[in-house]
Structure 1
C-alpha cells in the first residue's frame, strides 16, 4: 500500500487525540493536518516528547512510509501485544500511542483477507478493544472481528460408588445372607440343646442346659458378622451432592466502568459505577485500590 492510501489516518488521529485530551477538534485546521506528517501532527496536538510515546509515533510513521514492510511491522506489533491490553500503561485505559498506531494499522488490516488476519490474533484483539472505546469520528471504518462463542462444559454427575461397581453390592448382599444363615443355624443349635428331652438314665443338671463358653463366643461372632458391612451411607451421599456445582448457575455479565473513586472509609477499596449496556448502572465496591488508580479503571467512549 502507498502512503496515499493512508490519507484519512491523519484526520482520524487529529480527531481522536483532541477527544482524548478534551480539546476542540475544530481547533486543528484541515490544512495543517494535510501538510503535516504523523510525527509533527502528533507533536502539535499532544506537545509531548516522551521516549515511549514517540517510539510508537515513529512506528506509525514507518508503517505509512515503508511500503512492503507492513507484515514485518505487524509481526512485531503482534508480539508486543501478546502480554498486554494496551501499548502503554499497566491497565486498560488507551493512551495517545494506541490512538496513533490504531489509526494507521487499521487501514492496512481492512485490506487483508480472513486467513491473513488470523496470523495476528493479538493485534485483532487489541484493535477490537480500541475501536469500541475510542472515538475516531466518521473517517475510520471498523474492522470486523470474528469472535468465538464460549459454551461452558456441563459438570459431569459424580457416579455413586455402588453404581460404579455393581459387583460390590452383590458381595455385600451375599455377605448379609450368609451371615444371617449362620446366625440362624447357630441359634437353632443352641435352642435344640436347651429344649432337648431329659435323659432319665443319666439326668443332666439344669446348669448344663446353658450353652458353653465356646458356643456363646461363636454365637456372638455370628451376630457380629450379620451386622458387618451395614453402614450409614446417607452422609456420604449428602456430601457428594453438596460438592456438585454446575457452572450454568452463574450469571456472568461484562460491563464498562464509567466512574471510579476511593472508598470514603477504606483506603484499600474502590467504588465503581459499571454500565452493563442495558440501561442499568451498578455500583460495586472492590479491593482494587492497591492495584489500580481510579483513572486506570475508567473507560471513556
Structure 2
C-alpha cells in the first residue's frame, strides 16, 4: 500500500493525473491525499509529492518523482507503456524528468515546440510519463495564451490538444477545468493598439473584481466593526446618551438614570463572553499527549495490550488497549499517543485501565493506527478542540464519553476533529496518515 501526499505544484498535478489516468486510485495499491503546507509541516514531509510505502513492518519514504511514477505504473501493470518498452525509451523519458522541472514555462514551450516537430508524443508512439509531466507543467500556462500564441506554437498546442482529448484524460481535464480552447485559425498577431485595448480591458475587469471583493468584505466585516466600536469606546457612546437625557429631565433624575445605565452596561459586558463561548460536553474531555514507557501483551487476552504511559503526572498511568490484532507491539513501544486521561478507571481482563489510548480507525473498526503527533510535542502536553474552552471534569463517566464518541472523527484530509473542529496542540494539529473519513476512538 502506497500513500502519496500531493500539494498544488505542477509535480503534484502530474502525479495526480498519472494515478487517476491509470486508475490505480480505484485499487488498494495507491492512495492520493492532497495536503496543505501546514499539514505538510505537521507530517514532517520535506517535499511534495511524497510517497510513503508500508511493507509488512517497514515504512519507506520517497520524494523522487520518477520513482513515484514508476510505482504507479507498476501497480497498474502499465510500466512498458508509460516508462518505455526499450531501455533507450526509458532513458529518454528519464531525461525529460530531469529537465522539465528546472525550466521556466517559456523555455519549456520552446523546447517542446522543437521536439514535437515530427512527433505526436514526446517519446515513442503513445503517451508516456514524460507527456504527463510536461502537460502538468504547461497546461495552466497555455490556458492564458491568445489565439495567435497557439498558432505560433502550433506543435505544442497540437500535442496538448491531443492529450486533453484522450479517453480518461479528457474527463480529468474537464473535471479540473484544464481544457484549452481551440484557436481561431484566422487570428493574427494583435497590433500595439489592440494590445493596449486588451490591457485596458483587463485592468478594468480586475478593478471591478477587486471592487466587488471589497464590497463583499465590507458587508462581512461591517457588523463586526460596529460591534468593536461599541466595545472599544463605551464612554463616548455613554456620554452622548447622557447629554440627550440631561436636556430632557431634571439633574437628579439624570444622575439616577446615569447610574442605571452604567449598571446595565457593565452587566451586558460581563454577559458578553458567556454568549460567545462554546460550552459543550466535549470541553469536559481531558486529552493529553502521552508516551508509552512500557508495554506488554496481556497474559490472558489475545486482544489487549497492557501499557504504562507518561502523561506528565508524578507516576505513569496504567492503560489497557484492545489493539493486539491491529497494531504491532513494535510500533507502540516508546510511541507518542493521544490519551483520554480523565476516563473513569475500569478493569479490562482483570487489569485496571486508568484512561484510554485514542486511535484513528475506519468506520468498520477493522483498521486502526496511531495518530501523528506534531513534532516537538512531549508527554503531558494538552490537546484542545479548536474553538472550545478546555474545562475537563476530574472523572468522566464512560457513558458520557460514548455520547460524544460519534462526533470524534477523521476527515477527508486525515485531520482529527470533533465535528468540524480540529484537535490541536501548541505545536500543531493531530492527523492520520492512513485513515480518511474515519473515526477517533
In which range does the TM-score fall when normalised by the shorter chain? Answer: 0.3 to 0.5
Identify the structure with the greater strand proportion.
2
TM-score, length-normalised on structure 1? 0.38
* Larger gyration radius, structure 1 or structure 2: 1
